[in-house]
Each structure stands twice: as C-alpha cells, then as structure tokens.
Amino acid sequence: MTVRLAVLFGGRSGEHDVSRRSAESILAHLDPAAYQVTEVLIERDGQWRVNGDRATFAQALRAIGDQDVVFPALHGPYGEDGTVQSMLEWLGVAFVGNGVFASAAGMDKPVTKKLLAADGLRVADGVTLRPDEDLSSRDQERLGLPVFVKPARAGSSLGISKVEQWAQLPAALRLARESDAKVLVEHAVRGREIDVGVLQHPDGRVEAGPPLEIRVANAAFFDYDAKYDGGAVFHIPAQLDPGTTRLLQDRAVQAFHALGCRGLLRVDFFLPDPDADHGTGWTGDHREPVINEVNTFPGFTAASQYPQIWQRAGVSYSALLDILIQGALHRHDAASPCPSPC
C-alpha cells in the first residue's frame, strides 16, 4: 500500500537553505512506488506552499493532516525546537523524529548540558548569559582561554566564534546575539571531534552507528562554511581502538535516552587530548569523552554526517528513510487509543 507522506521543509530560521537542501536529498531518495509525496514548504516570511502552490495556514494544516506520516526536514528555531512537533501532535498525524520535549531540550544547548550532566555524562564547562549579561572576570578565570561563544538555540554553527583573547569577547557576543539573545560561553576542549549517529528501528531497538571523525583543513573549527562548502573531511569509521568505539557508542545511546529521544539523534563528542588542560569541571576519568552538542534532526544533505554514517554501516540513504518513516508509523499506531477507524 502506498504511504501518503508530506515532506515539510524551509522555515523561518537562519537554516532555511540547509533545510531546503536536506529536503531535496530526501525527495530524491524516496521510493516513488512506496510513497505518495506532498511537498510542504514554509517560506522565509512564514508563508506556506503545498506542492508549489501558495496556501493559507488553514489549507496547509489540512494538507498535512490528510497524510499518513510527515517528515519534518526542518532545522533550527520554529522547526527543530518543538514548535512544529507540537503542531503535528495537535493534528494527530504520525511524524518522523523526536517529540516536543526532546526537540525543545535538544535545541537549547544549556538545557541539553544540564540534562546530560544529570545523567552522568561529561560536558564542557560553560556559562549561560542572558540578554545584557557579560562574562564576569571570575568566570573568565575559571573557563580560561580559548572559549567558544555560541547562540544557545541555533544550529549549523551559525553565530559561533572561537575567542582566543578576551578582547575578542564583545564582538563574539554581538555575533551570537544576532541569532539568539541567550548565549553560551564554553570552555574549548582540545581533542579529536567525533560524531556518532543513533537510530531507532521500527521494533524499538536503538543502535549507534560507526563513529565519524571530522578534520577541518582551512578553518579554526567546524563552522558553517566547513559544513556545507566542502571544508571538512569525514573519516568513517574513525581510527579508534575497539574499546573507545564502544564507549562512544554507549554514551551516544545513553544521551538518546537521557533526552527522551525517538527516531534519531546525532551526538557530537570531543575525545580529549590526553596531554591537554582539562578545565571542564570534570572530576572523573579524563579519558571519558566530552559531549559537545546533540542534534535532534541532523542534516540530511548529501554532505551531511548522519546519512554518511549509516551508509558506512550498510544502510543506504533510501533504506534509512524507510526505517525512520516506518518507525514513526509504528509508534503512532501503538499510541493510538483505539484501532482506526474508531
């Protein structure tokens, strides 16, 4: 039976273009014999289009509600932060990926860190600044240099700066606040940057893929240009000993459960340099990986880490989409109060 599927993309965040590129890849890899696809685009100004035609909000909601399942290929605020997930829950339609709580918590970096640390996972030391707050001299001394300054609720490395001298901090705060008034100043962990993708299968089994190592040639860190303009090289699997690989995979699955995730998650780690200064506030084993960030809907472009991780694990892009869609349908059916139709 053909599944009626809406791919929802675009949005009002600074990651509008990334979302469109993710959706383009998703649409190109969906099996046309298995899915009857409706394209739902949210323009930058919040206007809606259904299969290319301008639609009112009510018309768009009706089109979405008529689907068997929705694939929200949205990144950033208004899409990845629980906003759209809440709308889809209200419509009562199955949808791919994380629910309202995990999406909202995973989008807010300081909240993510608190939840992960409460579950015993290691995170970098940092300070959250509200609007008009500055980093105190005491916190500067505690964090040390360098630090990263990040918008609390943005993705794709938008608005992030690496600060190597405190004189650079005011400009970094201004840049971050262009994306979010709430800002995170975080100790820079020296070490290898490793990503692990987590996938939940339709039967509920949660699996971590092979670790991916990011190496950036011509940038200070893995910034927006490095992510989407070919400035980084991915090594899959990362050259790690079996014990470290298992540890990273175990911690990624632990993070998935700590945040109440479903469907998918990408966990971005630092594997600390054993000879580096470990000023992260951690009192345990310094070989323990540091969770940098999580992504509750990672990029699905041709250049994105998450699809590449699963392709290396033997799961093709098309098969990955099928797993996510079937998982969403299965969870929705299991949660229904009575068989359809009631």
Give catalytic residues, as residue numbers: 15, 156, 228, 266, 268, 293, 295, 299
- β-strand 161-163 against 147-151: which pairing, if any? antiparallel
Please, are residues 62 and 53 in contact by the beta-carbon 8 Å criterion?
no
Sign of the C-alpha dihedral computed for residues 126, 127, 131 and 137 taken in this order = negative
Please, are residues 69 and 96 in contact by the beta-carbon 8 Å criterion?
yes
**Residue 275: is it exposed, middle or buried by C-beta count within 10 angstroms (0-12/13-18/19+)?**
exposed
Q: How many CB atoms lie within 10 A of CB 235?
A: 14
CA dihedral 321, 327, 332, 334 (to 10 degrees): 160
Please, are residues 213 and 194 in contact by the beta-carbon 8 Å criterion?
yes
Please, are residues 25 and 300 in contact by the beta-carbon 8 Å criterion?
yes
Q: Of the candidates 180, 158, 104, 179, which has an alpha carbon nearest to the alpha carbon of residue 299?
A: 158
Q: How many CB atoms lie within 10 A of CB 241?
A: 8
CA–CA distance, 184 with 340 (Å, rounded to integer): 46
